[in-house]
Structure 1
Amino acid sequence: MTRDFVLPEDVDAIADVALPRANQLLFGHHEAEQSFLTSFNAGRLAHAWLIGGEEGVGKATLAFRLARHVLAQSIAPERRRDVDQAIATLSHPDLVVIRRAIDQKRNVIRPQIRVEDVRKAMQRVVTTSTGDGWRVVIVDTVDDFNDYCGNALLKTIEEPPDRVLFFLLAHRPGKVQATIRSRCRRLTLAPLSDGAMQQAVTALLPSAASDVVAASIRYGHGSPGRALRLIAKNWLELVDDMDRLFDNLGAMSARDLAAFSDRLEGRAKDDAFRLFRETLSGFIATRAASLTRRTDGSERAARLAAVGQFADAQFASGTTFNLPRRHMIIAYLEELQRAL
């Protein structure tokens, strides 16, 4: 299964790679999976699970894998392939997926999940069921919620209907609304080891050359989704350029920064801008961790953390109000120059 089940909302689909909901393979997260299965088999199942981890690390793959297991419980073994197919096509009547939707008027993906989408989904969960089996809700991701979605979801999580299971995916689970976090059991997915990354990339994209796989692992930072996207977009050279930029930022002039930002400007390069944000976040995290191990590094580490918060705020407002990418990129880099 690769492109067979791609929908317009699948903006993160990677060419020749199975979508998470159609992917039968799991790499590096079997301990998290076993934690859920142990609770499920013991009949002590929490009704809401917050699955946290970096973007592309495997949260959606795990959630859909667990959904397949749960929704197949009341099905005869010979019909379980039908469950797999229905989940892959998002046509299973007992599966509700909440994610960013298409703006039908503009024919573009919305920047956030709207509160009306959450309310509609919760109404479906509360009022419909195809029988005595489970119903599963997957939120992909809580990071995409607008300011009102959390409260719309919270009421149902606080008073869940019988046999309804929630999987809430979050790139930054610490920023999820506290009242929601407190009602969820946590599963944290760590970045994959290089060995697990090798297995994942070669299994999911067997056509990739060995040197390309090696470079994708280097820049994937434990996220197979990121590594696969770098290969599919032919962006390994671009991310290498970004790494060199960050390492030599102190020597960069305003003209250098402007020239770099021009490469990522424009709506056609939204994915490149996203790559920049991910690479920037990775650089800040790595450099800050290095500084905290030094006796004199705590102040600089705090400055870097502040740059990360500044970038998050600017990215959120820029996405919402469609601000020019070029201005945001230069602002990020100038703030980072001052912090280093």
Structure 2
Amino acid sequence: MADDPIPEADREGELAHPREVYDLVGHDDAERQAGEAFAEGRMHHAWMITGPKGVGKATFAWRLARRVLGGAPTGKSPLSVGPEDTVSRRLEALSHPDFLLIRRPFDAKRGKLRAEITVDESRRAPEFFSKSASESDWRVCIVDAADEMNTNAANALLKTLEEPPAKGLLLLVVNAPGRLPTTIRSRCRRLSLRASAPDACATWLAERHGIDAEIARRCADMAGGAPGRALALSQSDAPRLKETLDGILETLPRLDSRAVGVLASETAKRDGEAVRRTLMEFLERYAHDRARAAILGGEGADRAGIWVAAGDALARLARESETLYLDPKQTTHAAFTILKEAAQAETQ
């Protein structure tokens, strides 16, 4: 439909966008660090906010942006600004003149989000920071997620980091720091957000969002305690998908081709993109869990390396499936083949 809203790359499914979220689960120490740096005039020009997917990185970045742009603090948290504040309303509307958001753009020709942050997007940052602030003392730019920049985009952003503007703040939301060039990582102050215990996350899902206790527990476990990811999973068919996956993966290196075919067909449906992304995320995490188990079980670096390589291959396949618009069915079969070959290599 022509009047359908344009999808936002930094929004998780149908959940509220981070700019509309005003509560943050945990991360009191991170808020204290950033709040003290701002209050004491020690604000670093660039922060790299890292942590598991759904842990609250983007929510944290928007909280910090509201405060730096002049939002009045409320409550006990140094970064807490209420939704009725003028700064909050302007940021929700993406109309604040001293704020810039860089994210994967929408490709109107293909009717899909681009798989990478392009160089044209990143070039907006130097231009933005070259101007004087209009309504506040600061200018703030959020890049979400910075590890989705292609090489040219990363190089364009590096210019801003090499010559940081006065009263300019760059907030990089990063899921996989290793995908960013060292030249960018070395110029940022890193703030790592950690997931809460799955039990605490499950309690939050049940009490704050009214989710059934058993579903909350399963989603919290699947998300590793990351609240945003757990909430997204609870509002999808992820529990059933995970149960199906567990049944397929427990027989590796043997695969149930029929079950894999059913999953592949689901990813190829008109609304199957969310299923494909969740599936690839689960498979990549499975490979990394196998690598971790090999190390902890004393099975040696070679076995762990097999699964690390499999996880990297799955991550690469997931990116290429979006960048090159690969066939969803073929992508799904290729993903399971990667795991099958890893399991076979482990037994040799």
Asked whether the two chains share a fold, i.e. TM above 0.5, the reply is: yes
Name the CA distance, whole Å, in 1 between partners of 2:275 and 2:151. 27
Give yes or no for contact 2:143–2:173 (8 Å, CA) kept in 1.
yes
Name the CA distance, whole Å, in 2 between partners of 1:182 and 1:121. 19
What do you get for the CA RMSD once the two structures are aligned?
2.4
Q: Where do residues 63-82 of structure 1 align in structure 2 (5 Å cutoff)?
A: 63-72=61-70, 81-82=85-86
Deviations 1:50-74 (A, max 9, x none): 0111221111000001111111269
Name the CA distance, whole Å, in 2 between partners of 1:204 and 1:102. 33
TM-score by length of 1: 0.89
Number of residues of Structure 1 aligned to a counterpart in Structure 2: 332
Q: Where do residues 222-233 of structure 1 align in structure 2 (5 Å cutoff)?
A: 222-233=225-236
Alignment CA distance shift 1:264-1:107 (3 Å)? closer
SS at 2:24 equivalent: coil
Deviation at 1:249, TM superposition (A): 2.6
Question: Hey, what does 2:155 align to over in structure 1?
Answer: 151
Question: Hey, what does 1:103 align to over in structure 2?
Answer: 107
Bigger Cα displacement from structure 2, 245-254 vs 277-286:
245-254
Alignment CA distance shift 1:71-1:183 (3 Å)? same
Question: Hey, what does 1:46 align to over in structure 2?
Answer: 44
What fraction of aligned residue pairs are identical, expressed as a percent?
Answer: 32
Where do 5+ consecutive residues of structure 1 fail to align? 1-5
Are 2:143 and 1:139 aligned? yes
Question: Hey, what does 1:167 align to over in structure 2?
Answer: 171
Alignment CA distance shift 1:43-1:296 (3 Å)? same
Match of 1:280 among 254, 266, 283: 283
2:234 counterpart letter in structure 1 = I
Deviation at 1:203, TM superposition (A): 5.7
Question: Hey, what does 2:55 align to over in structure 1?
Answer: 57
SS at 2:130 equivalent: helix
Question: Hey, what does 1:3 align to over in structure 2?
Answer: none
Match of 1:35 among 24, 33, 36: 33
Name the CA distance, whole Å, in 1 between partners of 2:259 and 2:20. 43
Give yes or no for contact 2:98–2:139 (8 Å, CA) kept in 1.
yes
Give yes or no for contact 1:102–1:110 (8 Å, CA) kept in 2.
yes
Q: Where do residues 101-250 of structure 1 align in structure 2 (5 Å cutoff)?
A: 101-131=105-135, 133-202=137-206, 205-206=209-210, 208-250=211-253
Question: Hey, what does 1:331 align to over in structure 2?
Answer: 334
SS at 1:50 equivalent: strand
TM-score by length of 2: 0.87
Alignment CA distance shift 1:267-1:321 (3 Å)? farther
Match of 1:22 among 9, 20, 23: 20
Alignment CA distance shift 1:96-1:202 (3 Å)? farther
Where do 5+ consecutive residues of structure 2 fail to align? 74-80, 344-348
Give yes or no for contact 2:115–2:319 (8 Å, CA) kept in 1.
no
Name the CA distance, whole Å, in 1 between partners of 2:21 and 2:299. 47
Name the CA distance, whole Å, in 1 between partners of 2:297 and 2:69. 50
Name the CA distance, whole Å, in 1 between partners of 2:173 and 2:248. 32
Deviation at 1:255, TM superposition (A): 4.3
Question: Hey, what does 2:93 align to over in structure 1?
Answer: 89
Alignment CA distance shift 1:80-1:205 (3 Å)? closer
Name the CA distance, whole Å, in 1 between partners of 2:111 and 2:265. 26
Name the CA distance, whole Å, in 2 between partners of 1:129 and 1:108. 33
Question: Hey, what does 2:292 align to over in structure 1?
Answer: 289
Are 2:301 and 1:298 aligned? yes
